[in-house]
Amino acid sequence: MANPISLPLQEKLPRKNTLKRASDLFIFLLLLSLCSYRLLHLNTHGSVWLLALTCESWFTLMWFLMMNSKWNLVDHKTYPDRLIKGMRELPPVDMFVTTADVSLEPAIVTVNTVLSLLAVDYPCHKLACYVSDDGCSPITLYSLIEASKFAQLWVPFCKKYFIRVRAPFMYFSTRPEIPSGVLEEGFLHDWRRMKSDYEELKRKIEEAAKKSLPFPLTGEFAEFSNIERGNHPSIVKVIWENKDKVPNGVPHLVYVAREKRPNQAHHFKAGAMNVLTRVSGVLTNAPFMLNVDCDMFANNPQVILHAMCILLGSKEEKDSGFVQFPQIFYGGLKDDPFGNQMVIANEFILRGIAGIQGPIYGGTGCFHTRKIIYGQPPDTKGTQGQVHEVSRERYGRSWELSKSIVKIMSGMTEETPTFHCNSSNLKAAEEVASCFYEFDTCWGTEVGWIYGSMTEDVLTGLRIHSLGWTSAFCTPQPPAFLGCAPMGGPACLNQWKRWTTGLLQILIGNHSPLLAAVTKKLKFRQCLVYILCSTWASRSIPEFFYSALPAYCLLSGTSFMPKVSDPWILVPTILFIFYNLYTLSEYLSCGLSFCTWWNNQRMQRITFLTASLFGSLGVLLKVLGISETIFEVTRKDQNDSDSINDVDAGRFTFDSSPLFVPATALVLVHLISLIGFLIGVQPLASDASESGLGEVVCSIWVLLSFMPFVKGLFGKGNFGIPRATICKAGALAFLFMHLGTKANR
């Protein structure tokens, strides 16, 4: 496939972070000192200090795990120009786009992502784009058919004028830049034509989405005439085939709606990804696969070249498991009021994990080698006979899929792939998309995307790392992919709740990282990374109790802080000040503002006491057999300039969800206890007249962190907490106050 390449295609460069390591250790020592002090004085302070010790011990463990994750920061530098010059043939790549609900994920969003992928800088006869429609909507198929017509003009336009941003909605949202070396008049003529055609495409799709029956269900849409969502056969449609294998044409485009039947588990996104893997294995069988969510468009046209630099340029096979690109979001509001831009996580945590065994799989913007999805360990090559014998039991009964797996396992992939779209192969594709195909196979357990968690991406990455593979974190400029982050309170918190539920499911499931370091080839420090990831949401429980402690102490006349005259008061004081300065410095070093830091800090507190708390309780109820967890799709819209510039865009919004009850109750308790203390209704702590100061400061800090809820008590409409929620929270607050005042008697 390749000529010898003298220069490296990629480099792994460690960062110097001595000062950061020293700061991490200093905070860790302060936490240990605080826990030691509480332990030594536990007998003289009682249950309040025991609760504080328990919470602070958990925070100390979380900090140790976080410190491990950020200890070895590395950068991956790629050289796509060297790849182009040094390779005779670039390998084929199958691209997967997943969408689940056309009402929550509008078809125009999916279309823009697909168009950006079809127009990347890569030989188009080496690419195939598969779109999984888990909602089985004729609107999605109609939109892709119309998009394929537009792509015949859009792809040549992008490559002719070296357009950088190739998602039409984003490209046409700004004034056109005249490329160097082209006639301005000719470019502007083509630009106006493309914009007009895109507006027409957008109009058609949006009008179709508004109608209950936008077009007759005949011809291409005949299969949709007698089906219902959740109960339909598999549908595989070749929307566009690059029959002439034109290098600068439009890649293959395939629509897939897997079979669904009532009472048959479909395993959410993991099941959809496994169907795409099998369908693409039958039709194109590329050795590399890219998967993106329907709202993550390709922002860097050389994204595949960057990924191939790592996958093909690694010295050892185990170093080329998968390449994860960061999740970066466009159109973010000023100062990130909802704390969902994940800049710090990308800059420090994922770069740090990349210095161990590699970043965790993030579910989108990721390139895999197909053989690791098939469960093959690194540095092993089976013969054709061995692979064939195993595949019938392990991978299912499809003869066409078995043959494709033999080629992947033995490395006999074609440099110029053949697109097998005859009737027999399409029938085979529909067969492997059946909901019954996986019965008595290893799909979802040892092969493909792993079942058992709503965060199937993290679980699948854990399985890959456990086999001995490593991964890489690639951060080219401009960013490879851009997506839209949820806005408002409910959307953000529902997404975090789903992540919380999925991560805790991993911790208690059959693939728990607690056992992987012993039974698998997972490095110990990488095991700690997965333990941090899967237990992070469980911090919500000690966070809730710790946040309630100041109010309880003010109500009961007790204290959980050292006396002001006690020299040990310096430990929590220094810890509080240094930790906040440390986190602030991380934001400032990334070019972010003080307001961004504060918004992220308060949203972290809010998330823990709403989404994470309910996610943790949901998993507990499932373990006890009381209820089942529910998968909720996050609404995805392309944020326009008007919504971003709206003065109310950054305000926290509420709905009637029970998610908001605990935090509202906490705010009510702190307001009442703090007011009561300040006016002299509540007594001081019994051990010293000065011991209430620390609790007052902590209570004020909690209220500042939950200021959106304080404002929500008096807000109106979506910006106000519903009365029903306030009533429920008030009942909880009254119960808490009763317990606190009772303890004081």
For the CA atoms of 453, 377, 440, 273, the dihedral, rounded to the nearest 10 degrees, stands at 50
The Cβ of residue 241 has, within 10 Å, a number of other Cβ atoms equal to 15
Q: pLDDT at position 573, please?
A: 95
* Angstrom distance (rounded) from CA 597 to CA 672: 28
- Contact criterion met (CB below 8 Å) for 471 and 529: no
The three-point CA angle 479-107-429 to 5° equals 90
Q: What is the mean pLDDT of residues 27-43?
A: 94
pLDDT band for position 564 (cuts 50, 70, 90): confident
Q: Which of the residues 24, 121, 134, 295 is marked catalytic?
A: 134
Per the annotation, the verdict on 134 as an active-site residue is: yes
Q: Of the given ranges (7-21, 390-404, 626-640), which has the lowest mean pLDDT?
A: 626-640
* Angstrom distance (rounded) from CA 315 to CA 90: 18
Q: Of the given ranges (101-110, 550-559, 597-606, 710-719), which has the lowest mean pLDDT?
A: 550-559
pLDDT over threshold 50, residue 6: yes
Secondary structure of residue 667 in the 3-state scheme: helix
Q: What is the mean pLDDT of residues 390-402?
A: 83
The Cβ of residue 387 has, within 10 Å, a number of other Cβ atoms equal to 22
Cα distances (angstroms) measured from residue 248 to each of 174, 287, 463: 26, 21, 37
Transcribe 191-210 into DSSP letters. Answer: HHHHHHHHHHHHHHHHHHHH
Q: Which helix (H) or strand (E) holds 95?
A: strand 93-99
Q: Is the alpha carbon torsion for 340, 344, 350, 356 positive or negative?
A: negative
* 93-99 and 127-133 strand pairing: parallel
Cα distances (angstroms) measured from residue 71 to each of 20, 215, 357, 554, 589: 9, 57, 13, 40, 17
The Cβ of residue 742 has, within 10 Å, a number of other Cβ atoms equal to 10
Strand extents, DSSP E, 614-700: none
pLDDT in tens, 464-513: 999 999 999 999 999 999 998 877 778 888 888 888 889 999 988 888 88
Secondary structure of residue 53 in the 3-state scheme: helix
* Angstrom distance (rounded) from CA 255 to CA 131: 5
pLDDT over threshold 60, residue 689: no
pLDDT band for position 583 (cuts 50, 70, 90): very high
Q: pLDDT at position 229, please?
A: 84
Q: Could you give the count of Cα atoms lying within 13 Å of 139 in the half-sphere of its Cβ?
A: 27
Q: Could you give the count of Cα atoms lying within 13 Å of 94 in the half-sphere of its Cβ?
A: 26
* Angstrom distance (rounded) from CA 689 to CA 678: 14
Q: Which helix (H) or strand (E) holds 664?
A: helix 661-678
pLDDT band for position 387 (cuts 50, 70, 90): very low
Transcribe 688-732 into DSSP letters. Answer: -TTTTHHHHHHHHHHHHHTHHHHHHTT--GGGS--HHHHHHHHHH
DSSP state of 228: B
- Contact criterion met (CB below 8 Å) for 118 and 253: yes
* 471-473 and 322-324 strand pairing: parallel
* Angstrom distance (rounded) from CA 591 to CA 595: 12
DSSP state of 456: H
pLDDT over threshold 50, residue 2: no
* Angstrom distance (rounded) from CA 89 to CA 87: 5
pLDDT over threshold 70, residue 645: no
The pair of three-digit structure tokens given for residue 697, joined into one six-digit string: 């400061």
| Average model confidence (pLDDT) across the chain | 89
The three-point CA angle 553-555-560 to 5° equals 5
Q: Which helix (H) or strand (E) holds 298?
A: strand 297-298
DSSP state of 92: P
Q: pLDDT at position 388, please?
A: 45
Entry pTM: 0.92
The pair of three-digit structure tokens given for residue 467, joined into one six-digit string: 């086999």
pLDDT band for position 53 (cuts 50, 70, 90): very high
pLDDT over threshold 60, residue 3: no
- Nearest Cα to Cα of residue 376 among 406, 346, 339, 333: 406
The three-point CA angle 546-499-503 to 5° equals 80
Residue type, 301: P
* Angstrom distance (rounded) from CA 262 to CA 439: 16
The pair of three-digit structure tokens given for residue 321, joined into one six-digit string: 């498991």
* Angstrom distance (rounded) from CA 204 to CA 379: 51
Q: pLDDT at position 120, please?
A: 97
Q: Which of the residues 121, 295, 319, 457 is marked catalytic?
A: 457
Q: What is the mean pLDDT of residues 325-353?
A: 92
* Angstrom distance (rounded) from CA 84 to CA 80: 6
pLDDT over threshold 50, residue 600: yes
Q: What is the mean pLDDT of residues 44-55?
A: 90
